[in-house]
Structures are given as C-alpha cells and as structure tokens.
Amino acid sequence: MNSIIIITSPIIHNLTLVLAYIFFIILFIRIFFIRSLVLKILLGLILGIIVLIGSIIILFTCFVIEDLIANKDKDIGFECLNTIKYNNKEIKAYRTNGGATTAFGIIVREEKRIIPGLIYSDKLFDRYRLDTVLVELKDNKTLLIMDRNHKTIKEINLDK
C-alpha cells in the first residue's frame, strides 16, 4: 500500500507548490552574496536549472489554479464515485480523468482525517482503463471492488 498525506483543497495544494518554487528563487538570489567563486558558480548552475525548469511547471500550475478557482475548488480530474464509512476512516473510490488523450482510471483509497484540510491516505486499489466501480463492505472486514455488472474485480482484507 502507498501511504501519503494529502492536502484536501486543490487550490491550497497548488499554492504550496508555488511557495516552494519561491523558496528556490530566494535561494538562487542568495547565491550572489556568497564569496567563493567556485561555490557561486556550482550552486548557480544547480539552482539555475531548478528555477528554469520550475518556471515552466509554475506556469502550468497557474493555469491549473485558475481552472480550480473557476470550478469552485473542485478537481474535475479526480471525481469521487463512492464513499463508505469504516471505523473512523472512509473508503473512497475515485475516477481519474487525464483529459482527451487518456482513458479513465480508478483509485480506491482508505482515508483518515488528521486535521481539517489534511488526510492520511492508503491506496487500496488502482487500475487504469476502467471507468467505474462499485465498492461494498462485506462482513465488516472485507472490501469488495466490483464492476458495473457486480462481478468482483478484487477483494481486500481490511484487517491489518
């Protein structure tokens, strides 16, 4: 399983990326105050490449932020299909949508809220080229992931 901590607001998530980029710009500017010429050149090359590549990423991130604001902070590429409450956690099935040149995918995650705005997530299931799933809890410890015809794709034991 892949465990990660996720910022629930896509706008805040992308703004965090922009702030991290600003940190690298500040580091790049601080290089000019270093006395050693060799260190100045070495760090200038390394951070210069990071800032240059980062500027392209930040340009696209600004477009994403603009789109998220227009969609009221909803990520249309990651749509929640189903939610099941389990103990003090939630099991959620998401449909991923990468756009016109990709197929849909499905991700099923077990999520637990840490604090408002942050969740701890374990990925239980991931399949590309699948557009919908049904998620059911069987006997309070087994998760069934089924296709639209109720045929079981995978059974996951939730007792850890």
Say whether both 22 and 46 belong to one domain. Answer: yes
Pairwise CA distance, residues 75 & 9, whole Å? 9
Total tally of structural domains belonging to the chain: 2
**Position 36 in a domain:** yes
**Position 107 in a domain:** yes
Say whether both 104 and 56 belong to one domain. Answer: no
Q: Contact at 8 Å (CB) between 105 and 95? A: yes
* Residue range(s) defining the domain that contains residue 33: 8-70
Q: Which residue among 38, 70, 102 closes a domain?
A: 70
Of all residues in the chain, what percent carry a pLDDT higher than 90? Answer: 66
**Position 3 in a domain:** no
Per-residue confidence (pLDDT) for residue 68, from 0 to 100: 85
Task: Report the chain's mean pLDDT, rounded to a whole number.
Answer: 91
Tens digits of per-residue pLDDT, 80-103? 999 999 888 999 999 999 888 999
**Position 2 in a domain:** no
- Section 107-125 average pLDDT: 94
